[in-house]
Amino acid sequence: MTQHGRAVPSDLRAHRRPGINYDGLPDVLAGTAVEPGDAAYAGVRSTYLRGGSPGLVLRPQSPAEVVEAVAVARRHQHLPLGVRSGGHGISGRSTNDGGLVIDVGALDAIEVLDASRRLVRVGPGARWKHVASALQPHGWALGSGDYGGVGVGGLATAGGIGFLGRKHGLTIDHLRAVELVLADGSVVRASDTEHPELFWAVRGAGANFGIVTSFEFTVDEVPDIGWAQLAFRVDDPAAFLEEFGRVTDAAPRETTPNLIMGRSGVAQIMAMVASDDPDVVVAQLQPFAEIAPLVQQQVVIAPYASVMNMFPDAPHQGRGEPVSRSGLVTELTPEVAAASARLLASGAVHWFQLRSMGGAVADVPRDATAFAHRDARFSIVAMGANAQRVDRAWDQLRPHLSGSYLSFETDTGPDRILEAFPPATLARLRALKAELDPTNLFRDNFNLATPPTRSLA
Ligand SMILES: Cc1cc2nc3c(=O)[nH]c(=O)nc-3n(C[C@H](O)[C@H](O)[C@H](O)COP(=O)(O)OP(=O)(O)OC[C@H]3O[C@@H](n4cnc5c(N)ncnc54)[C@H](O)[C@@H]3O)c2cc1C
């Protein structure tokens, strides 16, 4: 490694942020690094939801360069450190003000390792829409989330609650091995047989332990699927929610519905049925169509990849900080439905979404992965602009929650960590964190080092 830094004109040097040894960058990183004042800076400073002004964005092009980038981060441990794959973090701070960002977006290869076992290797920088498109010609799919622009790195280290979830489980349930760079720069492969405790931890709390440079997944055989978008007129939100819960619980596990509701009196259900048989699709969707008067409906048989490719990519120009609250419930009881309806009526949230879980998600034992809330049947997300207002409204739901999914929560304070990880899981994670990241290098996303002292809501 040589350390010559970068040739930067003096007018650009004026934009440099304090505390960063720009001229000490190793050559292998200097060529692709971006700093304030660079033409490329506007395109990398912010993420999808969050505005930022990092002092330096390192863009390693290989796992070996990630090792170099982690060494730079260790030398700058006084500064915030963001780790970025696809830039869609909600809990994760993959940008910051004046700190470092390690952006592994260039590690985006998708390759079939063994077709007979449907074993694929995916880089953290790949987007789920690209993964879906690459798997489609084989008749395969890997459930991720509801939005194809999300990156593999952030989602596959946290959980992955997606439209194939009730049939095929979480994204992390398909992981067979990961390679990652730890805080001390060592490169480790973790699987059931190699560093099994780390492999357990990566599947739910990966961001705390290193930077994953590749994921190996077993993917599913998925023929075309049924895809429905149903819009309803809703006069009584609490009754609608309760009925949505009842119908979802009764649905066969091929069907995974999500619900979006606002104050407008309209609700939208987006549901996937993991079957290409129109009779099965219609039969499984019919009970949903009967929940309330339909104002719009569209049902198609389509490749899974077309759902993931539904939305075009937008440039990442997030502003400010999102405010998002996440809760898991084992049942959509009348109390949960009523509290959710009051939350909607409060006007404090502009985005309210229920994702269904259960089915194959619950087949996995609670202690098999660091994501432990296997009994949750719904994930609830509420987003708003003002943390105090959102919390006042959300507090009504808290007594009914069984846990939290960290990817949808922006308050990384100690209470939220207790909700995201049950006590036995948290104790195991903290022991491993102390062993593998004793100086707490990776701390931007639900910091597990004991005990966190401030809330970043
Ligand atoms: C529009 C939208 C829709 C979403 N829908 C769903 C959904 O349906 N289901 C679901 O489960 N989630 C969903 N999410 C949440 C999403 O999974 C998380 O925000 C995820 O962290 C995004 O991953 P990313 O790589 O794009 O994000 P980034 O912003 O790049 O990273 C987020 C955080 O993940 C960690 N991280 C990133 N890369 C790595 C790596 N290589 N190694 C270790 N840690 C890393 C870091 O802590 C980082 O701060 C959604 C998010 C958005 C914005």
Determine whether the shortest distance from the Cβ of 170 to ligand 1 is under 6 A.
no
Query: Confidence class of residue 11 from pLDDT cuts 50, 70 and 90?
Result: confident
Sign of the CA dihedral running 151, 153, 154, 158: positive
What percent of the chain has a predicted confidence (pLDDT) above 70?
97
Determine whether the shortest distance from the Cβ of 211 to ligand 1 is under 6 A.
yes
- State residue 442's pLDDT score: 98
Determine whether the shortest distance from the Cβ of 161 to ligand 1 is under 6 A.
yes
In Å, what is the CA distance from 214 to each residue of 152, 187, 225, 280, 452?
10, 11, 28, 37, 29
What percent of the chain has a predicted confidence (pLDDT) above 90?
91
Is the pLDDT assigned to residue 452 strictly greater than 60? no
Determine whether the shortest distance from the Cβ of 118 to ligand 1 is under 6 A.
no
CATH architecture of 21-103: 2-Layer Sandwich (3.30)
Q: How far is the CA of 406 from the centre of ligand 1 (A)?
A: 10
Q: What is the mean pLDDT of residues 110-136?
A: 98
Is the pLDDT assigned to residue 457 strictly greater than 80? no
Q: How far is the CA of 321 from the centre of ligand 1 (A)?
A: 15
Which of 83, 258, 324 has most ligand 1 atoms within 8 Å of CB, for mutation? 83
What residue spans in the chain does CATH classification 3.30.70.100 cover? 225-302
- State residue 5's pLDDT score: 58
Nearest atom in ligand 1 to the alpha carbon of residue 408 is 15
pLDDT digits (tens, 9 = 90+) for 240-257: 999 999 999 999 999 999
Nearest atom in ligand 1 to the alpha carbon of residue 152 is 25
Q: How far is the CA of 157 from the centre of ligand 1 (A)?
A: 8
Q: Of all protein residues, whose CA lies closest to atom 21 belonging to ligand 1?
A: 154
Query: Confidence class of residue 450 from pLDDT cuts 50, 70 and 90?
Result: confident
Q: How far is the CA of 12 from the centre of ligand 1 (A)?
A: 32
Nearest atom in ligand 1 to the alpha carbon of residue 442 is 47
- State residue 75's pLDDT score: 98
Query: Confidence class of residue 6 from pLDDT cuts 50, 70 and 90?
Result: low
For all residues of the chain together, what is the average pLDDT? 95
pLDDT digits (tens, 9 = 90+) for 27-59: 999 999 999 999 999 999 999 999 999 999 999
Determine whether the shortest distance from the Cβ of 406 to ligand 1 is under 6 A.
no
Q: How far is the CA of 301 from the centre of ligand 1 (A)?
A: 28
What residue spans in the chain does CATH classification 3.30.465.10 cover? 110-221
Is the pLDDT assigned to residue 208 strictly greater than 50? yes
Q: How far is the CA of 438 from the centre of ligand 1 (A)?
A: 24
What residue spans in the chain does CATH classification 3.30.43.10 cover? 21-103
pLDDT digits (tens, 9 = 90+) for 282-332: 999 999 999 999 999 999 999 999 999 998 877 888 888 899 999 999 999
Nearest atom in ligand 1 to the alpha carbon of residue 159 is 11
- State residue 449's pLDDT score: 92
Q: How far is the CA of 88 from the centre of ligand 1 (A)?
A: 5
Which of 84, 178, 215, 361 has most ligand 1 atoms within 8 Å of CB, for mutation? 84
Q: Of all protein residues, whose CA lies closest to atom 16 belonging to ligand 1?
A: 155
Determine whether the shortest distance from the Cβ of 49 to ligand 1 is under 6 A.
yes
- State residue 451's pLDDT score: 63
Determine whether the shortest distance from the Cβ of 87 to ligand 1 is under 6 A.
yes
Determine whether the shortest distance from the Cβ of 256 to ligand 1 is under 6 A.
no
Q: How far is the CA of 238 from the centre of ligand 1 (A)?
A: 30
Is the pLDDT assigned to residue 199 strictly greater than 90? yes
Which of 49, 59, 66, 88 has most ligand 1 atoms within 8 Å of CB, for mutation? 88
Q: Of all protein residues, whose CA lies closest to atom 1 belonging to ligand 1?
A: 147
State the Cα–Cα distance between residues 225 and 315, nearest whole angstrom. 29
Question: Which fold is adopted by the domain 110-221?
Answer: 3.30.465
Determine whether the shortest distance from the Cβ of 124 to ligand 1 is under 6 A.
yes
Nearest atom in ligand 1 to the alpha carbon of residue 150 is 26
Q: What is the CATH number of domain 225-302?
A: 3.30.70.100
Q: What is the mean pLDDT of residues 423-448?
A: 96
Determine whether the shortest distance from the Cβ of 85 to ligand 1 is under 6 A.
yes
Query: Confidence class of residue 335 from pLDDT cuts 50, 70 and 90?
Result: very high
Is the pLDDT assigned to residue 72 strictly greater than 90? yes
Query: Confidence class of residue 223 from pLDDT cuts 50, 70 and 90?
Result: very high
- State residue 312's pLDDT score: 82
